[in-house]
Structure formats: C-alpha cells, structure tokens
Structure 1
C-alpha cells in the first residue's frame, strides 16, 4: 500500500497518517509479541466473543479503554502503528517488514470495523491484526483473533519483560533482520 492509499484508508477509519518513522529504538517485531506474554508479565486483555452481535462496538470500546488506561495515546492522540512495507532486499511481494507509521486518532474512529475492513488494522471487518506502540515505546498493543474471540492485548513497560528481551537478544544480527531492525533492537535492549 503506497502512502497515498494508506492516507485514504486511514482517513476512512478515523485515523490520520502523519509519516513513517524509522530509527525509533522500538522494534515492531518485538511489539508484535504482546500476545505471547503472560498476565504476570503485565499483559492486559479486553476480548469479545466472535458471535457477539455487538462485536465491533465492544472491541472498539475495549481497545480505547486499554489505550487510555495504559497510556498508548499521546496528549495529541498520536501513537505508532506497524505498517507492512516491502523489505529493502525484497525478491517478491511477500517479503515485508514492519515499519512504524505515526498516526493520529481522529474523533470519529473505527479501529475494529472500518480499520480492519480496509486492511489498516486487520484482515477483515471485526478481525483485528495490528501492532501499536506509544510514541516512547512505554506501551505495546496488539489486536488479534483468538479461537473464539477478538480483542486487544496491551503490555505496559515492555522493555522490562524478560521473555521479550530474550527474543530481541536472539534476533540481533540474524540475516532476516535489516540493519535498521538491528539498530532499533539494540537501542531497545539498552533501556
């Protein structure tokens, strides 16, 4: 998805795409591991049954409650959203990497419905598949579909979670990681 299409798709779901952000010191692939963390590591969830007739409205409310409660949104309602872009050395369209997009949440938003349907925050209407971070990396959020429910998992203070630190350490220098990913990972591990 090019920047123009991305801007329009985000507008349609109540978000404003501001710019791509590289060199944040926050590796998107680590933020995408929130659902592998346990509650005793700080993970908080809000879920809605797949067969609930109010699935999208309840899932939106759960996401927003966690985003506000845990500090995902800045004062300006900005956050980072991982966006799939072609890997620098891509050989085909499936070779993607996550790059942070700086996003502003508008007043009339729909992360779990229109956002998912457009491919910005999910795979189809009511089926989230997103990775988000607070601007400073102090909170990670992941939207996903579980076996019988959908929802959001949030992890405050992710840099303190040993399981994430272990995965990040193992990923440094791997041939499938870009130089930028390695730099972000090392910066994140230095926190």
Structure 2
C-alpha cells in the first residue's frame, strides 16, 4: 500500500453522474477538492449530472469549469466562428446553476490551437486545461493533465504523480507538441 504523494490538481471531465455519486464522497472523505469540467448540454440527461447535483458539487467546495456545451472539438468551432458562443452559452448555463462566474476551461478531446487559446484569453479565462500530459507550474495559464483510464492501477497513477515528466526526451517532446498546437 502506498501513501498518497503530494498532488497537483484533480480534475473530472464530461459531467458524468458518477462525479457526484462516487467521486464527491471519496474526495470529501479524503479532504480533497477537484475541479469538475461540465458539458452543459448533458446536464439532466441519463447518466449525467443533474443541475441540483452540480450545485451540490459547488456547495461542497468543488470548483466548476466549462467543457463546452456540446463536447464538439473547439478547433473546429473556432474555425467556423462558433467557439465564442459555445463558451459564453456554456458559462451562462453554469453560472445560472452555481451563481458564480466560470473562469476555467478544459478542451474537449484535448483539441486546441492558437485560435482557441486566443478566444479563451479574450473571454477572460484564467486557466485552460489540456490532456498533453506532463507537469505544469502552478502559475501557468495552460495546464497539462494526465488521463486516468480503467486500465490504470493505483501504482501507475502514483508513478505519474511522483515523476510526471518521466525522462528529458519525453518532456521535450511534450513541450514541442504543446508549442506546435499553439502555433497551428
């Protein structure tokens, strides 16, 4: 059995009902918080968070961010001139439930480019989250995250927390991919 190493941040995407029924009790039991990135068109649909559950997540001290209205890739929405409406409408829907402005966003499917980043900055988002993997400085505007999947074990998750950048080559490759995404 491992003791839990110092954590950066815990995040959940996609508005699954299990965020409320399973994750929230576990987080509260460990005195942890996590940011929940919500797809607003999924609220109140089977298997997804309800509006009252979302409000209770917020009231329990869990930060809430947007994952968009539709979970469509934001690069395509930006190209088609639809991203700003996607973000504004999603944030408005979230604010209506939790009565607090939304300042963080997670890219659906990890998809972003310079237009997406520019739109988020222009709209006043203070943090953006990718799934580019690797570590991020706490003060960074763009945060990398690891995806935890069903095949992960406690040991594999702890190994990533303890050594998020693995090797210099992997770290440099991830940094290069991040730069390229920001330039395209």
- Relative to the length of structure 1, the TM-score reads 0.26
Which structure's residues are more often helix, by fraction? Answer: 2
Q: Greater Rg, structure 1 or structure 2? A: 2
Higher relative contact order (CA 8 A, sep 6+): 1
